[in-house]
Structure formats: C-alpha cells, structure tokens
Amino acid sequence: MDNAIYATLTRQAGLRREMQVIANNIANASTDGFQKEGLVFSEYVQRMDDSDLSLSMAHAEGRMIDRAQGQLTRTNGTFDLAIEGDGYFMVEAPNGPELTRAGHFTPNADGELIASDGARLLDIGGAPVFVPPDAMSVGVAADGTLSADGRAITQIGIYMPGDVNEMRRSAGVRFSVDGVVQPLEGARVVQGFIESSNVDPVTEVARMIEVQRAYEQSAKFISNEHDRILSAIDILGR
Amino acid sequence: MRALKIAATGMTAQQTRVEVISNNLANMSTTAYNARRAEFSDLHYQQLAKPGTINASDGTVLPTGVQLGLGVRPTSVSVQLSQGSLTQTNSDLDVAIEGRGYLEITMPDGPASYTRDGSLKRNGEGLIVTADGFAVAPEIVIPEDASSISINADGEVYAYFNDRVEPEVLGQFTLAAFTNERGLEAIGSNLFRETEASGPAVIGDPGTDGLGRLKQGYLEDSSVDAVREVTELIEAQRGYELNAKVITAADQMMAATSQVR
C-alpha cells in the first residue's frame, strides 16, 4: 500500500475514537454532574528516507474535559448539592480520594453522607462528613458549611486539582487526580439543587454528522486510491 | 465500533427513565405519593494512553492521555420529597400531615410501617385503621355512641356525644421522623419500612421537634407535577432518539468501510 492510504487510515482510526467519545457524551446526556469529553488530534510527522519529503499522519493524542457549568435543577433534597462555578466535591473511593460534581448524597446508618455507590463525602479536612441521625433540619451554606438544627457541624470541602490535565476519569462521574489537589477559595455550594450533565445534544449531533461524513470521505478516498493503483498496474502492465 | 454498544447503554438508561416517569404519572392521584427520579452515572473508562506516557515518536510526555468512556448505567431511583397540596374531604377521619413526619402503622406480620396517607377508617371493633385495615399506632378506639370525632393540630383525638357537652379524650396521634426519609423502603399501598439507610424512627407529638401538624378533614395530594413529568418524558424520549441516531451513524460508518472494495 502507498502512503496516501496509510495517512487516510490513521485519520479513520482517529475518527472511530472520536465517534466513541461522542457516543459516550450522548449516552451521558442525562447523567447528573457529567462533564463532556473532547478529543485532540495531533499531527504525527514521519520523515521519509533520504529525502526532504515527510509524511504526516493524524493521531488522537490528547483529550480535554469540558468544565462548563451544567444546568441546575431544583430537587428540594436536603442532601442534594450543586456547585456553582469551578470546583469538585471529594469522595473516598476504594482507590483513594476522587473528585466529582455529582452532588446527590444520602446519609448512611452511621450518619455519614455517601454517594449512591457508598463512597463517603469528605470535608475540608479530608474526614467523612457526619450528620447526627436525630437532626431535624440540615442546612448547607454557600461556602459548604453544614449545620444541623442551627448548629454548624462541619464544612464540606470543595477542591480543585493544581493541574486540570492530571484529572483521569473513573466510573461514577468521578475523576482521580495524580497530582496536587487543593481546597478552592470562594466556591459556591447550592443546597436542594443537582447539576445536570453539561452535554449539549445539538453540538454533539453536529459533531457526529461531521465525523460520520469525514469517515465516509476517507473510505471513498481509499476506494478511489485503490482503483487508481489498479488502473496504473493495468496500463503499465500492457 | 464500540459506539454501537455505548449508544445501546444510553438507550437502556433512557428507557429506565421513561418507566419511572410512567409510574409517577400513573400515581398522579395517589394520596401522599412522592414523585421519583431516575439517576445515572457513567461507566468505566478505558485507558488508551495514560497521562504521562512517553510519546514513542519524539519522546515528549503526553499531558492528558486518552481515555474512552464506555457508556452509562442507571444507579438509583430517588424520591423527590415535597409536600403535596391539601384537598378538603370533610371526613372526620381524614388527616393530612402538614410538614415532616409519618403515621406509624402496626403490621400484622413483621416490623411497623409508616405512611403519610391519612385516609383513616374505623373498623368493627372501633379501632382507627388505615384503608387496608392496619391499626394506627398508638391504638385509638372510638366508642360506639360517639357522634363525631375531632382531631386537633397537635394530634389529640376527642369524641363528642349527643347526650353530653364535654368531649372525651380518646388518645393522641404521634408522628415518626427519619434522618434520611429517602432511605425508606416503599412496600406498596402507600406504606414504607425503615431501613439501615433511613435510620431509626424518631417518634414525637405533632408540632414538636420540627414535626409537622395534623389537619383534620383534609388529605395530601400526590406531589407529582404533571408538567414537569411531561417535560422529563420529552427529554427522555429525545435522549432515546439521540442514542438511536448514534447507532445509525456508527452503522453507516461500518457500511462505508465494508464498501471500500
């Protein structure tokens, strides 16, 4: 095969990946706290032997997390929390602390606030958030201070990674961070609201059509290239 | 084409959402029913290139890496706690709870259950029971010759008689509260059971300790907001269609590949 086909094949492989990213975004269009994913293509340049020519290929090398604010939906739940602006809640996942914006928590039998899979929500000091089981009214202030029956008990931590590029996704709308995570000053928590997914279906469908057509064009190109080589062999072989 | 399978998880999730919505709408006229909402979370992510991986071609370190998600799954169906509006029924034994709290119901088998459905009745022995015939705790017996019953906001129950002026005190309704009402397990017939997640029932008199008050002659409507449910239904239906569209697109991409020759 010649280089034109190789370059086009790398393009197709990248487009299939991008399609998978779009499919995952659309599948999570109703997932609370989900932040949509993008893919970054880079050029992969290879020098051809003993000449100044080079061959350029496309390679899906990086990804980005779109941290735009999702819509806040009122639920009136005491332990439904949404973050306005930047920042993440920290929960204690099996493999260490993880960040999330999915703010639907419930107290367990011990009075600790947990996410739907049992991971405990952590406060500003990294300890589990505890709500007294006999508390009649629980309020959460904008700075994350949690009070039961009017007495401040603890402050729910809102964190931000030092470098957002170090965030890795894990199941359950969460991110694990390899580097430093610091508490975020001036974060705003809203009680009784849940942040919806920030996936915009219109944009995703537009991207999807684009990807699909680009993929079909690449396939057409490979087909034409194939015919071109065939006819070249045909003519030269006469 | 993993996009096919990912979109399929999306369709399944939206289908669950439609099922929850249809149950809400079916219970639009159920006394004291609280609407429920399906919640989702994303699935595992595949690490194609870890952040920090050394790029083979030129030795640079990848800042973000490539991770591809594998779709979505429904994680929980949670109750939306909100007070339904009160409808006047003018029946002596209909009590609505304004605010927090549940009536405790003694079950013939097993642990007590709790309800906010206050359409109470009087059984053959004179006992105050639910519409299904389970006794309300603490037990209150209405005398044969009582002409009318009065229940005040604090839960005190009085009986009036035709041949006397003074009412007779029959007893006192109590209410149960839970730290986490959403953790209650629904067992049908408007009844709930306490679970590990809900915490134990804290019993108190109406109007004390943040508990609600009783309102005789009223019933609490369901808190299902038809407009909201229909908007959710539209969202869920469109979500379903979008995922179906991804399947179509992925299918056509595969077709494009297979038509190369």
The 10s digit of each residue's pLDDT in A46-78 is 666 666 667 777 776 667 888 999 999 888 788
Which residue has tokens 């034109």? Answer: A4
Taking CB atoms and an 8 Å cutoff, what residues of chain A touch B233? none
Closest listed residue to residue B130, CA positions, set B83, B173, B92, B94: B94
Averaged pLDDT for residues B133-137? 92
Q: Kindly state the greatest CA–CA separation across chain B.
A: 102
Give the distance from residue A188's alpha carbon to the nearest chain B alpha carbon, in angstroms: 23
Look at residue A9 and tell me whether its pLDDT is greater than 80.
yes
* Chain A residues 61-100 within an 8 A CB cutoff of chain B: 61-64, 75-79
The pLDDT of residue B182 is 81
Give the distance from residue A189's alpha carbon to the nearest chain B alpha carbon, in angstroms: 20
* Chain A residues 112-151 within an 8 A CB cutoff of chain B: 116-117, 131-137, 149
Residue contact A226–B260, C-beta within 8 A = yes
Residue contact A34–B67, C-beta within 8 A = no
Residue contact A24–B70, C-beta within 8 A = yes
Please enumerate, as own/partner, the contacts of B50-54 that have beta carbons within 8 Å and a separation of 24 or more: B51/A165, B51/A166, B51/A168, B51/A178, B52/A178
The pLDDT of residue B54 is 67
Q: Please write the tens of the pLDDT for every residue from B138-181.
A: 999 999 889 999 999 999 999 999 988 899 999 999 999 987 78
Residue ranges of domains in chain A: 3-67+199-236, 72-195
Residue of B1, B14, B182 lying closest to A16 (CB–CB): B1
The pLDDT of residue A70 is 93
In the three-class reduction of DSSP (H, G, I as helix; E, B as strand; rest coil), residue A150 is classed as coil
Report residue B167: phi and psi, to 5°. Answer: -75, 160
Q: Please write the tens of the pLDDT for every residue from B174-204.
A: 999 987 788 899 999 999 999 887 888 989 9
Residue contact A20–B6, C-beta within 8 A = yes
The pLDDT of residue B51 is 64
